[in-house]
Amino acid sequence: MKHRILLLIFFFSPFSLFAEKNLSVSPYFSIKSGTLYEYLYSSENSNNEVSLLEWDYSQLYCLGLKTSFENKNAEFYFGFDFALPLECGNMYDSDYFYKNGIKNKCNYSSSNNYSKLIFNSIFGANYRFSFFERLSITPEFQLQYTFAKFKAQNGHGRYGRAPYSKTGTDVNWDSEDAKIISKLYGCEFYRHNLYTWTGLTLSYDFTNKFNAGLGFFLSPFSYTYSVDHHLNKPTYDTYLKMEGHGNLSKFKYKLFSNTSINHNLILYTHIEFITGNTDKGISKIADFTEKYYPLDQKNGANIKQTDFTIGFKIVL
């Protein structure tokens, strides 16, 4: 009998951890703005950029949902959001050549950027430590996955690369000898990103119904996989595949506030900034057959993003 009682205590003791628990759902709306950077480096010097694509999005409107489970001071949560498919900014394409060690831009074009599919998901866990009644410090871990697909259309530019220039040599894009191209075929691009985040948030309870704070996160590991498809005549299409990772290369900052409307409803807002250093990796290239071959040039990927979010936390 004694063994049975001990067995029952052992079996049910983990569930006692969740005796004081709160389950909540949080619908939210966010506006994201920023730029995805795509670099290609010289085969002779991996620090020299020869190509840069800047996928600018100044107005991504996102709808999302977050669910969280809280037990005393611990919280586990999962959230995701989608962006509405709209014209969202511009894509800038720059090519460079080097003369006497000096970097010169030879090709430059601008196109309208359209978001096709933008998805973001995040899983997190944290534990809150309280000090002096109103102050809290919360260590936190996050795993974040993002997918972005854009299409650049209605482009125009100036090309000073040797095959296009009047002189038959590389000239600057704004030179009189550069060729003006009034219509470009366009470009498609998608990127997968995986981030791990570790950080701390600091919050202060100004009243019983309002608190605010800030947070700082560092990414121990980030992974990027992307493909850009340069549209052309069907048999002249080119694909460039890039894959790379970074360690301690991305940073995230956050300001937030929570306003309690009643016991079961909380209005929350936050503004979040992501920035960091460029992650470098390997490149592969393909023609219209999409059969890829290794390219002896490194690639790079980076991001700068601001995210403003407002939502309601509903305690069930």
**For range 32-61, the mean pLDDT:** 94
Beta carbons within 10 angstroms of residue 124's beta carbon = 17
Within a domain: 13: no
Q: What is the enclosing helix (H) or strand (E) of 286? A: strand 279-286
**For range 87-112, the mean pLDDT:** 94
Total domain count, the chain: 1
Is it the case that residue 306 has pLDDT exceeding 80?
yes
Burial class (CB in 10 A: 0-12, 13-18, 19+), 17: exposed
Better-predicted residue by pLDDT, 212 or 43:
212
- Side chain identity at 243, as an amino acid letter? E
Within a domain: 20: no
Within a domain: 107: yes
How would you classify the pairing of strands 129-131 and 179-184? unpaired
Closest CA to 115 of 81, 76, 86: 86
Residue 72: predicted pLDDT: 87
Residue 202: predicted pLDDT: 97
Identify the band that residue 132 occupies on the pLDDT scale cut at 50, 70 and 90: confident
Identify the band that residue 209 occupies on the pLDDT scale cut at 50, 70 and 90: very high
Which residues 6+ apart lie within 8 Å of 172 measured at CB? 104, 105, 106, 160, 178
Within a domain: 16: no
For the record, the structure tokens of 79 come out as 């959230």
Residue 198 to residue 201: CA distance in whole angstroms: 10
For the chain, percent of residues with pLDDT exceeding 90? 78
Within a domain: 56: yes
Contact 278, 39 (CB under 8 A): yes
Residue 188: predicted pLDDT: 94
Q: Chain-wide mean pLDDT for the chain?
A: 90
Residue 9: predicted pLDDT: 41
- Side chain identity at 33, as an amino acid letter? S
Q: How do residues 57-84 score in pLDDT, each as one tens digit? A: 998 999 999 999 999 899 999 999 999 9
Within a domain: 209: yes
Beta bridge partners of 226: 191, 242
Q: CATH number, domain at 54?
A: 2.40.128.90
Within a domain: 19: no
Domain extent for 222: 27-315
Within a domain: 7: no
How many residues in total does the chain contain? Answer: 316
Reported pTM: 0.89
